[in-house]
């Protein structure tokens, strides 16, 4: 984390340390009280959380069950001794179910975290709209990245959708329950919000996690164009600082085309993964003139000692869904 720091008091009270301006350092404000992380089970809607890696405050909206394809985990052996998933791309690596959560991010923390905070985008229904909707301050968080805490405030989180999605109920634990607006919005936009597959791979202590999302289809008289968003997180698990210099993508479409994309950095940046700021997360988009395809590639990384290497991006599939749900933003 950069300007956002977390300080734990003697009685496990949680404080947020935020930058005031360039000439003054910071001030501490009590946020709440830490709770014990759940080793089993799921966190409920309304649970206040602190992100273990990026340090932002948030609140759980609802859970997802995803299949995680982790190429770092040894695969089971077939009878002939060959590892399952060793032949080819994508889902041949055995997936394991895991809990993730749709989380609303506190807007006060957005300027200080190394992750894009408008990660959720989708197209409007092609029959009624050609708009691209972007929902600010949403993220998908793995169960192990959640640090739960409690607060006595009725509005402990600053986000324009907090009061529209959640309502305070002092008889419940956590004391925030889903408003009808949240339930209706989640039901209506389920195909665009759904997290189904997560892909992971580590090279030279740099772990890359990819989560693809289908955004919708744009139809015209000439052809149909299918769009996906993919969220990528890079995390340095080693001791030496590493900087991302280049990206190299291979994009295969079911129509039979294979595209190669090269460029400097990602989203206009060449992020450094250091001991104090070991992670970086961003989102991008890709389109195909076919309902499915695959993507894979590498990031060229440069370590602080001058050593350069290609960090593998795990292969992931791009799958479309039925475009029969109007993707409307919350009101």
User: What number of other Cβ atoms are within 10 A of residue 36's Cβ?
Assistant: 8
Going 170 to 178 to 4 to 12, the CA torsion angle's sign is positive
Mean pLDDT of 19-24: 46
d(CA 178, CA 77): 44
pLDDT band at 254 (very low <50, low <70, confident <90, very high): very high
Q: What is the pLDDT of residue 223?
A: 84
Predicted pLDDT of residue 315: 97
C-alpha pair distances (Å), 247 with each of 115, 210, 263, 278, 291: 18, 14, 6, 19, 25
- Choice among 2-16, 174-188, 225-239 with the minimum mean pLDDT: 2-16
Nearest to 124 by CA among 311, 324, 331: 324
Predicted confidence at residue 75, as pLDDT, reads 60
- Structural domain boundaries in the chain: 5-319
Please answer whether residues 28 and 15 qualify as being in contact, where contact means their C-beta atoms are separated by less than 8 angstroms: yes
Where is pLDDT greater, at 304 or 118?
Answer: 304
- pLDDT score at 125: 54
Query: What's the confidence (pLDDT) of residue 193?
Result: 87
Mean pLDDT along residues 172-194 = 91
- When computed from its CA atoms, the radius of gyration of the chain, rounded to whole angstroms, is 21
Angle ∠(280,281,282) on CA atoms, nearest 5: 130
Quote the CA–CA distance of 299 and 310 in Å, as a whole number: 6
Strand 197-203 to strand 5-8: parallel, antiparallel, or no bridges (unpaired)? unpaired
Residue 27: pLDDT band (50, 70, 90) is: low
Distance set, CA 306 to CA 5, 112, 129, 202, 243 (Å):
30, 28, 50, 20, 10
- Tell me what pLDDT residue 84 has: 41
Looking at the chain, the whole-number percentage of residues with pLDDT higher than 90 is 62
**pTM exceeding the 0.75 threshold for the entire prediction:** yes
Has residue 279 got a pLDDT over 60?
Answer: yes
Q: How distant, in Å, are the alpha carbons of 122, 216, 250, 255, 324 from that of 290?
A: 18, 12, 16, 6, 18
The two three-digit tokens of residue 331, written as one number: 């009101």
Position 26 pLDDT exceeds 60: no
CATH of segment(s) 5-319: 2.60.40.1470
Q: Answer for the pair 208, 299: CB distance below 8 angstroms, yes or no.
A: yes
Structure confidence at residue 130 (pLDDT): 55
Contacts of 298 (CB under 8 A, 6+ apart): 247, 248, 310, 311, 312, 313
pLDDT digits (tens, 9 = 90+) for 283-326: 999 999 999 999 999 999 999 999 999 999 999 999 998 754 44
Top-confidence range, 105-109, 112-116, 201-205: 201-205
| Under 8 Å between Cβ of 98 and 66 | yes
pLDDT of residue 323: 56
pLDDT tens figures, 73-107: 876 544 444 444 433 444 467 889 999 999 999 99
pLDDT of residue 83: 44
Pair of tokens at residue 221: 């008289």
Angle at 247 between CA 244 and CA 252, to 5 degrees: 150
Transcribe 48-104 into DSSP letters: EEEETTT--EEEEEEEEEEEEEETTSPPPB-TTSPBTT-SSSGGGSPPEEEEEEEEE
Residue 329: its pLDDT value, please?
56
Mean per-residue pLDDT over the chain, rounded: 84
Q: What pLDDT does 4 receive?
A: 44
> Quick one: pLDDT at residue 190?
86
Residue 149: band (very low, low, confident or very high) from pLDDT cuts 50, 70, 90: very high
């Amino acid at each position: 984390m950069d300007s956002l720091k977390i300080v734990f008091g003697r009685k496990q009270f949680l404080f947020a340390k935020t930058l005031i301006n360039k000439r003054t350092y910071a001030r501490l404000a009590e946020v709440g009280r830490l709770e014990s992380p759940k080793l089993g089970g799921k966190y409920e809607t309304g649970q206040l959380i602190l992100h273990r890696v990026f340090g932002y405050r948030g609140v759980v909206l609802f859970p997802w069950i995803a299949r995680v394809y982790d190429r770092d985990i040894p695969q089971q052996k077939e009878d002939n001794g060959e590892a399952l998933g060793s032949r080819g791309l994508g889902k041949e690596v055995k997936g394991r179910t895991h809990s993730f959560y749709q989380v609303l991010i506190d807007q006060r923390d957005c300027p200080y975290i190394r992750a894009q905070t408008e990660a959720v985008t989708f197209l409007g229904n092609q029959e009624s709209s050609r708009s691209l909707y972007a929902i600010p301050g949403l993220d998908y968080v793995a169960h192990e990245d959640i640090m739960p805490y409690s607060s006595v405030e009725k509005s402990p989180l600053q986000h324009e959708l907090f009061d529209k999605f959640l309502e305070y109920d002092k008889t419940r634990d956590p004391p925030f329950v889903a408003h009808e607006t949240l339930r209706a919005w989640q039901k209506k936009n389920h195909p665009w919000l759904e997290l189904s597959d997560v892909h992971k791979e580590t090279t030279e202590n740099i772990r890359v996690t990819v989560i693809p999302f289908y955004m919708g289809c744009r139809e015209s008289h000439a052809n149909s164009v299918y769009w996906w968003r993919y969220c990528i997180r890079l995390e340095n698990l080693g001791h030496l600082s590493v900087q991302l210099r280049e990206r190299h993508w291979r994009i295969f479409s079911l129509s039979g085309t294979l595209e190669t994309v090269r460029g400097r950095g990602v989203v206009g940046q060449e992020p450094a993964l250091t001991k104090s700021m070991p992670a970086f997360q961003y989102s991008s988009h890709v389109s195909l003139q076919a309902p499915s395809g695959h993507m894979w590639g590498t990031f060229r990384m440069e370590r602080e000692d001058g050593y350069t290497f290609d960090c593998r991006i795990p292969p992931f599939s791009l799958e479309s869904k039925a475009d029969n749900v109007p993707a409307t933003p919350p009101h």
